[in-house]
Amino acid sequence: MTFKEKLHKQLHQPAWDSEGLSPVNKLVLFLICFSVLVVIIETEKPLYWKYKEIFVGLDFTIGVLFAVEYLARVWSIGEKRRYRGLLGRLRYMLTPAALVDLLVIIPFFITASSNIFVARLLRLFRLFAIAKFGRYSEASRLIWRAVWSRRHELLMSFVFTGVILLVSSTIMWAVEGDEEFDSIPRALWWGVITLTTVGYGDVYPQTVAGKICSGVTALAGIGLIAMPAGILAAAFSEAFQKHKQSVTQKRQAIKRKGQDTGQHSEL
């Protein structure tokens, strides 16, 4: 086995493979956790300015390691027929996982901006390293498959929620019509916090009709939240049951294969 083949196995071996995470992927997973921890700690300004040189050094080191990992993945992915050659590697670089890797790397090598918004945006991109967990977790793959299998039902529930939100906000605008509800867009804010049963209390109805509408909307919100929750719960249960059955079948197949091999050796 060549070095490239070994590297490909270490970096691209699925987390749900029978062998589990490779040693290299375990190190990358640790680096992701450490990177996220550093980003969080850096938001404490007194601590950051006190140990600025250490944090700058850590940021540069983490960025270099992530860049090496990214380049190694792009180089070794050529072992797969689909990603061979220059076009194949470009195809891989446009996959969601590779784009997340690139998005995480870029902020490490951009000079810190004096603009607070830009600086926070760069730090947010660095936190995208959390999204890299999906590559190393079988559970995240199953959750994504469960959500995708119920995408039509979820879409319908969101559309229904949007209709209820628009109708209730329009009614509130019509019956109230005061400074707080002088337009439908402003009434939509009230609709969102009422449907989600958050109830900030910054905007509330004054008329009897408005209070009745508000009560009905709040009660409808309970059912609207339960709808996608029930859909997702059923999807997750089904996905994990299928996975459990698949694992059991694989184990039984391996066991039968071992028994057949033993019988042949005896003959």
Average pLDDT over residues 166-173: 92
Confidence of residue 128 (pLDDT cuts 50, 70, 90): confident
Q: Same domain, yes or no, for 153 and 235?
A: yes
Query: To the nearest whole percent, how much of the chain has pLDDT over 70?
Result: 87
Out of 112, 136, 160, a domain closes at: 136
Would residue 129 count as lying in a domain?
yes
Amino acid identity, position 135:
R
Q: Same domain, yes or no, for 111 and 85?
A: yes
Q: Same domain, yes or no, for 122 and 177?
A: no
What is the structure's pLDDT at 171? 92
Would residue 27 count as lying in a domain?
yes
Using CA atoms, how far apart are residues 54 and 99, in angstroms rounded to an integer? 29
Q: Same domain, yes or no, for 154 and 132?
A: no
Q: What is the CATH number of the domain that holds 112?
A: 1.20.120.350
Does residue 247 register a pLDDT over 90?
A: no
Q: What is the CATH number of the domain that holds 243?
A: 1.10.287.70
Confidence of residue 262 (pLDDT cuts 50, 70, 90): low
The string over 147-174, giving b where at least 16 C-beta atoms fall within 10 Å of a residue's C-beta and e elsewhere, is: eeebeebbeebeeebeebbeebbebbbe
Would residue 143 count as lying in a domain?
no
Q: Same domain, yes or no, for 162 and 243?
A: yes
Out of 105, 136, 167, a domain closes at: 136
Please name the residues in contact with 141: beta carbons below 8 A apart, sequence gap of 6 or more.
Answer: 15, 16, 134
pLDDT digits (tens, 9 = 90+) for 3-19: 888 888 888 876 555 56
The residue ranking higher by pLDDT, 225 or 257, is: 225
What is the structure's pLDDT at 71? 92
Using CA atoms, how far apart are residues 265 and 267, in angstroms rounded to an integer? 5
Q: Same domain, yes or no, for 120 and 98?
A: yes
pLDDT digits (tens, 9 = 90+) for 38-60: 988 988 889 988 998 998 899 88
Query: To the nearest whole percent, how much of the chain has pLDDT over 90?
Result: 16
What is the structure's pLDDT at 197? 81
Confidence of residue 119 (pLDDT cuts 50, 70, 90): low
Question: Among 44-48, 68-72, 257-261, whose mean pLDDT is lowest?
Answer: 257-261
Out of 87, 115, 136, a domain closes at: 136
pLDDT digits (tens, 9 = 90+) for 203-245: 888 889 888 988 999 888 888 888 888 888 888 888 888 877 8
Q: What is the pTM of this model?
A: 0.65
Would residue 167 count as lying in a domain?
yes
Q: Same domain, yes or no, for 192 and 231?
A: yes
Average pLDDT over residues 192-206: 84
Would residue 114 count as lying in a domain?
yes
Domains contained in the chain, number? 2
Report DSSP letters for 204-251, one per residue.
---SHHHHHHHHHHHHHHHHHHHHHHHHHHHHHHHHHHHHHHHHHHHH
Q: Same domain, yes or no, for 66 and 97?
A: yes
Q: Same domain, yes or no, for 100 and 167?
A: no
Would residue 144 count as lying in a domain?
no
- Domain interval for residue 96: 3-136
Does residue 265 register a pLDDT over 60?
A: no
Q: Same domain, yes or no, for 122 and 153?
A: no
Would residue 112 count as lying in a domain?
yes
What is the structure's pLDDT at 116? 62
